[in-house]
Amino acid sequence: MDIPIHDVLLVGGGAAGLRAAIAAAEADSGLNVAVVSKVYPMRSHTVSAEGGAAAVMREYDNLDLHSFDTIRGSDYLADQDVVEAFVKEAQDESIQLEHWGCPWSRDEDGRVSVRAFGGMSVKRTLYAADKTGFHMLHALFQTSLKYNAVTRYDEWFVTSLLVDDGRVCGVTALNMRSGGIHAIGAKTVIICTGGGGKIFPFTTNAAIKNGDGMALAYRIGCPLKDMEFVQYHPTGLPGTGILMTEASRGEGGYLVNNKGERYLSEYIPGKMELGPRDILSRAFMYEMREGRVFDGPYGNYVHLDLRHLGEKVIDEKLPFVRELARNYVGIDPVQEPIPVRPVVHYMMGGVHTDINGATPVPGLYAAGEAACVSLNGANRLGSNSLTECLVFGARAGAVAAEYANSREAPGPDTLENLTRDERRRIEQTYLQPRNGRERVADIRTEMQAAMERGAGIFRDEETMKETCETLKNLQERFRNVGLDDTSSVFNTELTAALELGFMLDAAEALAHAALDRKESRGSHSRSDFEDRDDEEYLKHSLTYRTEAGPRTEYLPVTITRWQPEERKY
Ligand SMILES: Cc1cc2nc3c(=O)[nH]c(=O)nc-3n(C[C@H](O)[C@H](O)[C@H](O)COP(=O)(O)OP(=O)(O)OC[C@H]3O[C@@H](n4cnc5c(N)ncnc54)[C@H](O)[C@@H]3O)c2cc1C
């Protein structure tokens, strides 16, 4: 097979990947752009986003306020130049998305509707009922079809990044339909592979969110940034982890404990249900310690009560919440409160990039949840991340296009040689029948349990050390993994094994970064260091992969106009 060579190659067809592909195609119509995705783009996790996308759209709002909310929400770890660029470009991106066909919900007077969201001072979250991600992804996907320059590799699974002479020159990918492992050459690669919630046992994230892109970059020497910050969303369904969107609190829903109290008055009286996610998730844990939560077959929970909103508002603004609650817990929120508890939702950390999505490795870029451009710091505000995918997807697409224009295409012989090694690695590691084999599912379950134990809502030195040790042992055991299925067509056991490899790397980076940060900030809450320590830790962590295990370095935070102060609501 001839090796295809592209100017800009996107790994990922979610909001960030498609926005970047459009930006690259628009930057120069002569460029040849490719989108590789392990699922059809419309099945990317973006499709399941419910609540909305933040942008300043009203006369009572302003860019400085959106910046301040984001920076305070981040517990002062966001880079402020990044935040300022974000809030400005979020406006144009949101309007452009409507022109591309995104049906934002509207008020009676015809203006785009906005709703309240946690940690935002005013209503600024645009939405399309509570199926925002579906509509956004649809608008992006259909727009991407306009460009002949964009080639798609649907259901191709990227297994590695190819590097020649220190520069990224393409990827190797498994064609899931045939089982073949091929090189796809590229002058630039943009990682848009989304988050990695599946390294934890209990998450709102789709099964395809395994930290693939983070591990791909980490393996070629690119550092991961701020990996210790993991967002728990306070309202997932017990059992499945399915999300009850924050919009249900934005529209006025209450959180109630087993005493019938709106318990947030004890923890965050100024904001109540509209507080940021880290604080609300911790409040649940405190209530649990006090025995003020319900006990169910899937563990403890509290109530999300929407009854006072009435059927009309629920059907108009939260139809999906009603549908999910009915289908998954047999509860109609018009009549009864919904059981909810905190679940892993989002990774603030990811592939280290600058403000344009460029990584330290020449030719490699990243955007969306897989990246850490340093917008979200230690805690993301809900509804900032869909807009983040647009703003920084567009930036990464444009700068990668520019760089591609200045670069020679990689040679087919180099690509083929590099790919031969990867093909051999996969065949020898996974597809040879062997004795004494480890099972993918066992290692995955043990990894998830270790992550919840050591890197959950509350953390301390001793349990985190145990988690790091467990992960090291699991990496060892993973070398002995074997598969029952050695067939070639849609071998999902093979992709599960490759995903487990990615997750173990991302989990190790996360656990070590968490162990090394001896303070509490945003979502990273240490029982042994309860205060934020700006003297020592007002800095980003950068985790590098080494033979001896993950190594942490630090990078200063960019402060422009907002000096760190106590985070009060
Ligand atoms: C249930 C839910 C609700 C949410 N609601 C909101 C909300 O209301 N507002 C908000 O701002 N944020 C929300 N978020 C967060 C937000 O949706 C995500 O952060 C964002 O959509 C991520 O987009 P992305 O393009 O970075 O990645 P994704 O949409 O996750 O796409 C990743 C892409 O990478 C591809 N990929 C991954 N690995 C590989 C590989 N090895 N080879 C090839 N392709 C690969 C996948 O096929 C996919 O196309 C929500 C998240 C969840 C889980």
Residues paired with residue 302 on neighbouring β-strands, in sequence order: 340
368 pocket-lining for ligand 1 (C-beta < 6 Å): yes
Q: Tell me, what's the pLDDT at 1?
A: 64
Residue 424 corresponds to which amino acid?
R
Whether 279 shows a pLDDT value over 80: the answer reads yes
Q: Tell me, what's the pLDDT at 441?
A: 96
Between residues 24 and 428, the one the model is more confident about: 24
Catalytic residue among 249, 517, 521, 524: 249
Find the mean pLDDT for residues 487-510: 96
What is residue 404's three-state secondary structure? helix
Residues 387 and 15: their CA atoms lie apart, in Å, by 9
The per-residue pLDDT for range 409-464, each reduced to its tens digit, is 999 999 999 999 999 999 888 887 665 589 999 999 999 999 999 999 999 999 99
Closest CA to 158 of 113, 106, 193, 109: 193
Which one-letter DSSP state was computed for residue 208?
Answer: T
Closest CA to 137 of 249, 266, 311, 12: 12
The per-residue pLDDT for range 56-78, each reduced to its tens digit, is 999 999 999 999 999 999 999 99
Q: Tell me, what's the pLDDT at 16?
A: 98
Find the mean pLDDT for residues 240-245: 93
The per-residue pLDDT for range 244-274, each reduced to its tens digit, is 999 999 999 999 999 999 999 999 999 999 9
Closest residue to atom 41 of ligand 1, CA basis: 158
Q: Tell me, what's the pLDDT at 435?
A: 54
Q: Which helix (H) or strand (E) holds 419?
A: helix 412-430
Find the mean pLDDT for residues 152-169: 97
Residue 378 contacts residue 226 (beta carbons within 8 Å): yes
Residues listed for the chain: 569
Q: Tell me, what's the pLDDT at 557?
A: 98
The per-residue pLDDT for range 102-116, each reduced to its tens digit, is 999 999 999 999 999
Residues 19 and 29: their CA atoms lie apart, in Å, by 15
Closest residue to atom 2 of ligand 1, CA basis: 49
What is residue 64's three-state secondary structure? helix
Known catalytic residue: 352?
no
Closest residue to atom 8 of ligand 1, CA basis: 51
Whether 348 shows a pLDDT value over 70: the answer reads yes
Which one-letter DSSP state was computed for residue 371?
Answer: E
Closest CA to 172 of 180, 161, 164, 156: 161
Instruction: Tell which one of 135, 140, 344, 385 to mutate to probe ligand 1, the residue whose CB is within 8 A of the most ligand atoms.
Output: 385
Q: Tell me, what's the pLDDT at 71?
A: 98
The per-residue pLDDT for range 524-552, each reduced to its tens digit, is 999 999 999 999 999 999 999 999 999 99
Between residues 155 and 2, the one the model is more confident about: 155
Site of tokens 């909810």: 340
* Angle CA 384–228–460, to nearest 5: 130
Closest CA to 261 of 211, 302, 209, 312: 302
Q: Tell me, what's the pLDDT at 486?
A: 86
Whether 315 shows a pLDDT value over 80: the answer reads yes
Average pLDDT taken over every residue of the chain:
96
Q: Tell me, what's the pLDDT at 432?
A: 76
- Three-state secondary structure readout of 292-328: CCEEECCEEEEEEECHHHHHHHHHHHCHHHHHHHHHH
Which token pair is 43?
Answer: 């099945």
Q: Tell me, what's the pLDDT at 123?
A: 97
Structure pTM? 0.97
Q: Tell me, what's the pLDDT at 264?
A: 96
Q: Residue 216 CA: which ligand 1 atom is closest?
A: 41
| Residue 243 CA to ligand 1 centre (angstroms) | 14
Q: Calculate what percentage of the chain has a pLDDT beyond 70.
A: 99
97 pocket-lining for ligand 1 (C-beta < 6 Å): no
Q: How many helices and strands, by DSSP H and E, does the chain display? A: 15, 22
User: What distance lies between CA 447 and its chain's CA centroid?
Assistant: 19
User: What distance lies between CA 222 and its chain's CA centroid?
Assistant: 18
Residues paired with residue 366 on neighbouring β-strands, in sequence order: 191
Q: Residue 156 CA: which ligand 1 atom is closest?
A: 43
Site of tokens 């009603």: 322
Instruction: Tell which one of 36, 44, 45, 320 to mutate to probe ligand 1, the residue whose CB is within 8 A of the most ligand atoms.
Output: 45
Residue 373 contacts residue 385 (beta carbons within 8 Å): no
